[in-house]
Every structure is written in structure tokens, then in C-alpha cells.
Amino acid sequence: MESINSKLNANSARFWWRLPVINRRAWTWEDTNSHIHCGQWWQHAVIYQIFPQSFCDASGDGIGDIKGIIEKLDYIAALGVEAIWLNPIYPSTHEDAGYDVTNLTDVDPRFGYLGDFKRLLELAHLRGLKVILDQVWNHTSSAHPWFQESKKNRSNNKADWYVWADAKPDGSPPNNWISAFTGENAWIWEEEREQFYLANFMPSQPDLNWHHSEMIRTLLNQSQFWLELGVDGFRIDAVNFFVHDRKLRDNPQRGENDAEPDGIAADNPLAKQKFCNSFCRPETLEKLTYVRQLMERYPGTVALGEVTLCEDSIELSGQYVKDNDRLHLAYNSALLEDEPLSAPMLHDIMKKTLKHFPEGGQCWMVGNHDYQRLLSRWTGHKSNEEPYSKEFYRMVIGLLVTLPGALCLYQGDELGLPLGKVPDDIDREDMQDPYGKCMYPKDLGRDGSRTPMPWQSCRSFLGFTSADSSWLPIPDSHKTLAVDIQNEDPDSLLNTWRRMLIWRRAQPAIISGDVVLHDPHPDVFAYTRRYAEQTLLCVFNVSDKATEYPTNFPQEYQQAHTHTLILNQDQFQYQNQHLLLQPYGAVYISHTEV
């Protein structure tokens, strides 16, 4: 794409602008109360992810629940997000935080009752919030009635609803496929049926057989139950794992010259293989048509897919949203890597994203329940330290809210919570995460990003629960970051998120604009968003040093309807055709033609 400089030179007579009084850190911007509605809501939504057992406990048993979420709906709405995504709330054995489902059409008693969910849905909608539910379609719990029947013999009604295979002549598993959780062979022997079943995750999570049309039809019919209740969409777990190679061919070994896969640590045994037969199959794209057909029966709903463990997550996730017969949105590992954040890195990610998402459909993800928190991102694998300042994370907020597409914001990341440490904050014997238990100490697991929300700094368990204990401990470092403290601090990360999200909703160029990516720069990441009459220039200094960014503005700014917003800057400075940026400074210049 051509650089912003050439654009400016070509259009300088009409394009740029008289600047108003420069805003300092106090954040003022005109017309922030207007809310632009362009296209489908999900194309530009900020989705607040809720991990129910760690959000708010209203029942007093130490585990978060649906009534607790209801209590905090006003807090969520005040953030300025468009939707909430709930991690699984279904009946489960709870070996894997609800991703081992035993019934897809009910609510687990630990979270409440179906009536509680209906009330949550009603109250969320009254506040203008959409509700997205997690759907676990790759596997069930081994305690699920379907599997209990399937394992009995090879001729029952559900005999082929899961992935079964005979042992090799020597009694060993059918092939070399490795579990993403255990690092061991993904095939589990079932004595009753005298066959192996595939479990790409926990041994108690048998994979469903997406080559079986009746299974797919029944699964999606069950999910339709929630659409009938009025939910606004689904986040679909592990969508690139759905389909396996019917010939059960081995995965090739990863060579020394082969690129590392996305979304997984290099020392995980799974990374030794190329992901091409056990999952990430091209046939998955055909199966997504069934999902899209279901969602099309409920206009305005969205299907958001998780595409993280693969060879190239940006390229693959782009395929999953291509055309109009696949998913609406997909998130990937683009911003989930552990390498330090830099302007060249962001430029490469944006360039690649624009290439593979030409029709949109990208959903950005920085932290969630499966990865590190936002504050612990880009620190290097296994590191729990915070090498960056508040200014850095304020700049990151300003960046995230202007990226094209949707964005998922994980609970607690708006507070800047650091990752809980294992075994300091969480004793080894108190670990809950099965993946962490399997991989410890190579990988500390996911408990550190799943600790309960700190609501009130002076209450026991920081206001999360009134019980004598909570299902996971709360790190001491979270006390000074509690919601009540940050509410009172206008410069807090919480209030930064609020202001930026409210501002974002008033910018047509962000909600529906295209993107012109600027030339690469060693310290600065910049692009322009455009829609209708608005042009919005976004410039970010991704370094800890002051820098100058060449931008050929006209010498004088005479036109009206131009406004600036600055982050981490004492003032707006433009000298000798250069923007002067302080460390981690960000500048936004908006022009509206009238």
C-alpha cells in the first residue's frame, strides 16, 4: 500500500487542517456521545470475556456464578463494550474449567440455573450488551451420555460419533499424534470397546467425529437451543481441531529448518510435529458451512472461532472467515506471542492481516483464559515480571481500540492485573489447571490468568466472594489494582480503557473505516483509518525513547473540523514536518470534511 506521505502530498489542499487547542492528558474530544452504527455489530465489536468462576461470587461458595455477573452488569456496560462472552456455563465434570461438557443445553448448578441465565440475557440486552456463549464442539467429556453409549460396542447408534481406531498389530496406538495437553500420544485405549479413541486435549475429552453428518446435525441442533433463547452468538472453541485425517496418517516431524508453529511453546512435545493430519485439516472449511447455515437462521448473530494452534494462525484464521459461508469472525495468535513488542513487529502483523482478511473478520486477542494476561504479554516465555511502564500499556490500549475489526478484552486486563505466579501466588498443590499440572515446571499453566477479579481493596478476597475461601487464591499484587481504587484514579488503566472505548464508538473511521498502512519505521507504528467524511491518523511510538516521525503536513492548518487526541504526551508537537513523540507517545488527528 502507498505511504501516507504520498497521500498527503496529493491532497494537501483539501486534506489537512487547523488544530484546536491541544488536549493534554485530561482527554477531551468533541461529540463523544454519538454512537456510530455501520454494518453488522460484530464487525467492530469490543467483546468483554468473562471467566464465570472467577468474575463474581453471589452465592458465597467461593466460585463465581451467573448472579454475580448480573450484579456487575452496570460495571461492564460502563466500560463501553458492545458484548460479553461467557466461558462455558454448562454441566461439566469440571476437570478442565467447563470445557469437558456433559450437557450442552443446560446450566451447571455451580453457576446457577437456566432461569438465572435467562435473567442475565434480559438484563444485558436492556443495557445494550450482546451475549455470546462459548460452544465446545470439538469434544465432550468422557462422562457425556453420547460417549458412554459410543464406547459400549462398535454397532450402537452413536458408535461412530467419536473418533475410534484399532490398535496396530503390536497393540500400540494407531499413529504418532500427540495431545496438546499431555504431550503424550493422543490415543486412549478403551477396554470395553477394545479400541483407541482420539483425545487431542485431556484423556477425559474424547474428540467428536466431524466426518459423521448425524453427529454434526445433532450437535448444532442442541446449540440452536441457546439461539432460540436469544443469545447473540457463539465463540467456538478449538475450531481448527474439528476434522482429522480419515486415513489416520502420521504427522510429519518438524525439521530444524521448519518454522515454529503459532500459539504453542517451542518446548511443548506437540510442537515437534507439523499440524496437518491430527487437526488443521483443509476439510474443516467445508464443515464451517453447516455452522454458518445455522447462524443465518438467526439474523444478527455471530460465530467467532478460535484458531490458535497451527502453522500460521493469521493465514489459517483468514481462511475460516473467507466468503459468506464460513465463520463471521476468528481470532488467532498474532498478538499472543511472547516476543517483545516493536513497531516492525506490528507493521508485519498488520500487513499480513490485511492480506489474509481482505473482507474483514479479524478479531484481535491479547490476553485470555488460555494465555498470559495483557500486562504479562511480550515479556518472554515463563516470565512474570513487568518490564514496561504504565505509559507502555496506555499506548497499547490506544493501539488496540483503533485496530480494524473486533477486539476481545479479557476480564481483569482492563485493570492491568499481572499474571498470578506459580508457585508463589498459587501453591503447586493448589493448581487447578490440568494442562499446567501436566506441563509443570516447563509450562506453569493457565491458573495465573484465571485468578478471581479484585473488586474491593479492603474486603476479604477483594470482594470477589463472602466465603472463607475461593477456588483459586488472589495474588497480593492485585489489591492495589482493585476496581474501587482505580475508579477514584482518573489516570488509572481502568479509566483509560473507559475513555478510549467511549471515544472509539464515536469514530466512524474506526467503526467501519478502511486502513492505509504507513511505511515501516524502526520505532513508530502508524496507519490511517478512513470512512466517509472522516480521516483518522493514528501514530504510536512503540519505543521507550523520544523520537521524530516524518509526516508532511501542510505548513498551516486553516480548515476547521480537525481535532487531536494525545496519549503520554505533554503537548502536541510538530516541527520541520515531523511529529515529536515522547516515549510510548500516541497521537490521533481526525479530520471531517463537511
Active site residues: 237, 311
What's the CA gap between 273 and 521, in Å, rounded? 36
Let me know: does 428 contact 420? Beta carbons within 8 Å.
Answer: no
What's the CA gap between 464 and 124, in Å, rounded? 21
The C-alpha cell that represents 105 in the structure block: 443445553
Which of 368, 372, 341, 365 has the alpha carbon at shortest distance from 444?
Answer: 372
DSSP state, 15?
H
Which residues are CB-contacts of 221 (< 8 A; sequence separation ≥ 6)? none
DSSP state, 434?
H
What's the CA gap between 429 and 380, in Å, rounded? 25
- Burial label for 372, CB within 10 Å (0-12, 13-18, 19+), is buried
Let me know: does 461 contact 470? Beta carbons within 8 Å.
Answer: yes
Which of 293, 303, 261 has the alpha carbon at shortest distance from 278?
Answer: 261
Strand duo 578-581 + 83-86: pairing: unpaired
Single-letter amino acid code for the residue at 314: I
What's the CA gap between 367 and 147, in Å, rounded? 33
Three-state DSSP string of 545-572 = CCEEEECCCCCCCCCCCEEEEEECCCCC
What's the CA gap between 222 and 105, in Å, rounded? 6
Q: Provide the CB-side half-sphere exposure for 564 (13 A, CA).
A: 23
Alpha helices in 174-301 (DSSP H): 213-229, 284-296
The C-alpha cell that represents 283 in the structure block: 476439510
